[in-house]
Amino acid sequence: MTGTVVWFEGIPFPSLQYSPEILREVQESFLIKDEDVLLMTFPKSGTNWLIETACLIYSKGDSKWVQSEPIWDRSPWVEAKYGCELLKEKEGPRLISSHLPIQLFPKSFFKSKAKMIYLIRNPKDVIVSGYFYWKIAKFVKRPQPLEQYFDWFVQGNGDATGWFDHIWGWLSMRDKENFLILSYEEMKWDTRSTVEKICQFLGKKLEPEELDSVLRNSSFQAMKENNMSNFSLLKGRYLEENGELLRKDVTGDWKNYFTVAQAETFDKLFQEKMEDLPQDLFPWK
């Protein structure tokens, strides 16, 4: 398998699952319905944790669903060929995942009442998580070593483009009432309150024992042991045999990998690019 990419409107996508035709179709004519719930992230920001949590909220803490259906079928990726087809056939309120930047997202969303949760994460941890994931993924160009992935990320070229644009684009929605911003950090530091916030946003009332069950079944350990959520089903064709989606259960792992110079370079870039956004949006600072 090669790590080739297709380019669509200046953004690279792994050619294995994406095509310009589908991306155009998704952008122009995929119909987002008012009752849909959209789970939006930049890659490696905790997407699968959010999906698992949302699924468990929908099933009131009952783990049957998350233990019997692969995570990518429960909340399909709208921009991927497979997910887009699956979504078109789904009845009722749908959970929909996406990493798309705002300008490529289905236009129908912006006229709908569908709710979106936007999960962000310290970009320095996104770099580290992405670096280790790309080493085990068979469908992307492999960065060697971390410095190369870091450079792709900060220079906005290679296959790791777009974190700053993604954040700027989606945060323009921050005053809309159908848009909730969360961070991986707050999920990690106070998981219960964050899950309660999600429930409130989605209008779901859970009993205390149901909430406990959501927390238990979406924990790092539970997800790591759940073959429907830990990507073990992708080993072979898509991931190396030793590949783990659930790598570490920490915030601030960048401190173990960044040089002092890299941290300074990144902080300077972050300051330049993000200074016009309210800094309390970024709780890791």
Closer residue to ligand PPS (CB): 94 or 112: 94
The angle formed by the CA atoms of residues 117, 185 and 171, to the nearest 5 degrees, is 40
Locate tokens 């992405």: which residue?
130
Q: What tokens were used for 231?
A: 């990507």
Question: Can you tell me which of 27, 48, 75, 262 binds ligand PPS, judged by CB under 6 A?
Answer: 48
Shortest reach from residue 135's CB to ligand PPS, in Å: 11
Closer residue to ligand PPS (CB): 44 or 112: 44
When asked if residue 146 is in the footprint of ligand PPS (CB under 6 A), the reply is no
| Options 44, 74, 94, 99, the catalytic residue | 99
Question: Can you tell me which of 56, 223, 239, 274 binds ligand PPS, judged by CB under 6 A?
Answer: 223
When asked if residue 49 is in the footprint of ligand PPS (CB under 6 A), the reply is yes
When asked if residue 45 is in the footprint of ligand PPS (CB under 6 A), the reply is yes
Stretch that binds ligand PPS, among 81-89, 125-133, 172-180, 261-269 (CB under 6 A): 125-133
Shortest reach from residue 29's CB to ligand PPS, in Å: 25
Give the interface size with ligand PPS as a residue count (CB under 6 A): 22
Number of helices (H), then strands (E), belonging to the chain: the values are 13, 6
Stretch that binds ligand PPS, among 67-75, 105-113, 127-135, 266-274 (CB under 6 A): 127-135
Distance CA 263, CA 65 (A): 41
Stretch that binds ligand PPS, among 29-37, 62-70, 154-162, 215-223 (CB under 6 A): 215-223
When asked if residue 74 is in the footprint of ligand PPS (CB under 6 A), the reply is no
User: Can you spell out the DSSP letters for 146-187?
Assistant: HHHHHHHHHHT-TTS--HHHHHHHHHTTTTSTTEEEEEHHHH
- Closest by CA to 49, choosing from 239, 246, 209, is 246
Locate tokens 């790590």: which residue?
3
Shortest reach from residue 10's CB to ligand PPS, in Å: 20
Q: What tokens were used for 58?
A: 């929908």
DSSP 45: S
Q: Dump strand ranges (E) for the chain.
A: 5-8, 11-14, 37-41, 95-98, 115-120, 179-183
Question: Can you tell me which of 75, 129, 194, 226 binds ligand PPS, judged by CB under 6 A?
Answer: 129
Stretch that binds ligand PPS, among 140-148, 194-202, 203-211, 241-249 (CB under 6 A): 241-249
Shortest reach from residue 66's CB to ligand PPS, in Å: 11
User: Can you spell out the DSSP letters for 54-71?
Assistant: HHHHHTTT--HHHHHS-H
166 given a catalytic annotation: no
The angle formed by the CA atoms of residues 108, 110 and 115, to the nearest 5 degrees, is 100
Count other C-beta atoms under 10 Å from residue 140's C-beta.
21
Which residues are near ligand PPS by CB under 6 A?
Answer: 41, 43-49, 125, 129, 132-133, 218-220, 223, 245-249, 253
Catalytic residues: 99
